[in-house]
């Protein structure tokens, strides 16, 4: 995702910008209406954003709880005919 921000905004929220860049965002920084710099990840390991981390936690909780499908417990042998 590419975002355009002013130099002043980038200066005031630099740590926030870096966290978003680690999560895959890209920033175009403008001064006096002209683009002067681009802030983007250099590669390597991607760091998930806080929203992505929260979604992962919710998904894992759902997986551990499971969904009722009315099938009851079963094992591998009951799934395959012999």
CA distance 60 to 8: 40
Residue 82 has what pLDDT? 62
Residue 28 lies in domain: 2-65
Residue 49 has what pLDDT? 77
Residue 2 has what pLDDT? 87
Q: pLDDT per position in the chain (82 positions), as tens?
A: 789 999 999 999 999 999 888 888 899 999 999 999 999 888 766 677 788 889 999 999 988 887 777 776 777 777 776 6
CATH of the domain at 61: 3.40.1620.10
CA distance 23 to 45: 9
Number of domains in the chain: 1
CA distance 68 to 17: 42
pTM: 0.53
Radius of gyration of the chain (CA): 23
39 — alpha (psi -120 to 50), left (phi > 0) or beta?
Answer: beta
């Amino acid at each position: 995702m590419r975002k355009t921000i002013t130099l002043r905004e980038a200066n005031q929220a630099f740590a926030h910008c870096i966290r978003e860049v680690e999560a895959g965002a890209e920033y175009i920084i403008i001064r006096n209406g002209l683009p002067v710099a681009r802030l983007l990840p250099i590669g390597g390991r991607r760091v998930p954003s806080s929203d992505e981390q929260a979604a992962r936690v919710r998904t894992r909780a759902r997986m551990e709880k499971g969904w009722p499908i009315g099938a009851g417990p079963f094992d591998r042998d009951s799934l395959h005919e012999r």
